[in-house]
Amino acid sequence: MDVFQAIHTRRSIRKYLNKPVDWDRVVNILEAGKFAPNAGNLSNFKFIAIRDEEQRKKIANACLQQHWMAQAPVHIAVVSEPEKSKRFYGVRGERFYTIQDCAAAIENMLLAAHSLGLGSCWVGAFQEEKLRELLQLPESIMIHAVLTFGYAAEKPVMPPKYRIEHCVFLEKWGQKKNIPFSSMGWWSVRTEKAVKAAGKKLAKLSEKLKKR
C-alpha cells in the first residue's frame, strides 16, 4: 500500500474483532509516531501503550463513556511535556509546537496502522482528570489523545469531502484565478495511475482483437 492509497482509504474504526494484535505491529506503529516531524527535533511526545482489558474499559469510560473503545485490543495515549518545548521556544513552543508535534505523530500512527491491515480511531474527547489519574500522569505532562487499534469489524464508506478547489487558494487568501487546471478537482497521482492502468487494459484488449 503506497502512501496515497493509505491516505485515501483510511477510515475511523469504532467496531473491532475479538482478535489480538501482535506486539511487533504495535512497535511498528509506535516507530511511525516517533519519526513524525517535530519542532527542533525535541521529540516532544511520549506514547503509553495500553493492552490490559480492565484498563481499556476504564479508559473508555473516562473518554465520555465511549464504551466501543474497549473492543480495541490496543490503546495508545499520546502525551507531551510542554515545559520541554517552552524552554527552547517560549510560550509558542508550549502552546503551539507541542500540539503540532503530537498531531503529526498521531497521523503517522494512524496511517501506519492502516498499512498494516489494522483499523484505528483518534479520540480527543475525554475527562482529563479521570484519564490523568488512570495513566498516573505527573502534573507537568499534557494528554492530547487516545488512539484505538485493532482488526476492523466494519468497513465505513468515505464520508462526504469537499472538492480540492474548495480548499485551495493560489498565492493569497481567496485567490483562485489562474490555478492550473490539473490541480482543480483531481487527485493527480491517483488519476495518473488510473490512466496508466486503463491504458494497459486497452493494450491487452487490442492484442486479443488482433488475434481473432
**The pLDDT value given to residue 49:** 98
Domain limits, the chain: 3-150, 164-211
Q: Rg of the chain's alpha carbons, rounded to an integer? A: 22
Q: Which three cell numbers stand for residue 20?
A: 489480538
Residues 125-148 have a mean pLDDT of 97
pLDDT tens, residue by residue, 13-26: 999 999 999 999 99
Q: pTM of this prediction?
A: 0.83
Percent over 70 (pLDDT), the chain: 92
Window from 51-55, 95-99, 182-186, 196-200 with minimum mean pLDDT: 182-186
- Interatomic CA distance for residues 26 and 75, integer angstroms: 10
If pLDDT is split at 50, 70 and 90, which confidence band does 192 have?
low
If pLDDT is split at 50, 70 and 90, which confidence band does 164 have?
confident
Close Cβ partners of 52 (under 8 Å, ≥ 6 residues apart): none
CATH topology of domain 3-150: NADH Oxidase (3.40.109)
Neighbours of 55 (CB within 10 A): 14
Determine the 3-state secondary structure of 2 from DSSP: coil
